[in-house]
Homo-oligomer: A and B are copies of this chain.
Amino acid sequence: MAIAKRLAAEFIGTALLLAIGGGATIAARRLAAGDAAMALLVSALVGATGLAVLILTFGNISGGLFNPVLTLSEAWRGKLRREHVAPYIVVQVAGALAGVAAVHGMYGLDLMAIPRQASGGGGQWLGEFVATFGMVCVFIGCGRARPVVAPFAVSAYVMAACWFSSSSAFMNPALTLARSIGEGGALRLADAPAFVLSQLAGAAAATAVFIWLFGPARTAVRT
Q: Among the listed stretches A44-52, A67-75, A171-179, which one makes contact with chain B, having 4 or more residues with CB under 8 Å of it?
A: A44-52
In the assembled complex, the CB of A170 is this many whole angstroms from the nearest CB of chain B, namely 15
Return the contact of A145 from the options B12, B59, B137 (Cβ within 8 A): B59
In the assembled complex, the CB of A59 is this many whole angstroms from the nearest CB of chain B, namely 7
In the assembled complex, the CB of A187 is this many whole angstroms from the nearest CB of chain B, namely 17
User: Is the Cβ of A57 less than 8 Å from the Cβ of B141?
Assistant: yes
A24-B164, A36-B33, A164-B50 known; A106 vs B134 contact (CB < 8 Å): no
User: Is the Cβ of B56 less than 8 Å from the Cβ of A145?
Assistant: yes
Return the contact of A166 from the options B20, B23, B28, B56 (Cβ within 8 A): B23
User: Is the Cβ of B213 less than 8 Å from the Cβ of A5?
Assistant: yes
For this complex, into which size category does the number of interface residues on chain A fall? 35 or more
Q: Is A96 an interface residue (CB 8 A)?
A: no
Copies of this subunit = 4
Within 8 A of B (CB), among A64-113: 102, 105-108
Interchain CA distance A33-B98 in the complex, whole Å: 35
Q: Is A160 an interface residue (CB 8 A)?
A: yes
What are the residues of chain B within 8 A of A156 when measuring CB–CB?
A: 49, 52-53
Q: Mark A157-200, 1 if CB is under 8 A from B, else 0.
A: 10111011111000000000000000000000000000000000
User: Is the Cβ of A145 less than 8 Å from the Cβ of B46?
Assistant: no
What are the residues of chain B within 8 A of A134 when measuring CB–CB?
A: 16, 19-20
A105-B123, A123-B106 known; A153 vs B57 contact (CB < 8 Å): yes
A56-B145, A106-B166 known; A42 vs B37 contact (CB < 8 Å): yes
New A-B contacts (10) at CB < 8 Å, excluding given A12-B209, A23-B165, A56-B142: A23-B127, A33-B37, A37-B39, A42-B163, A49-B159, A50-B164, A53-B153, A56-B138, A57-B142, A106-B165
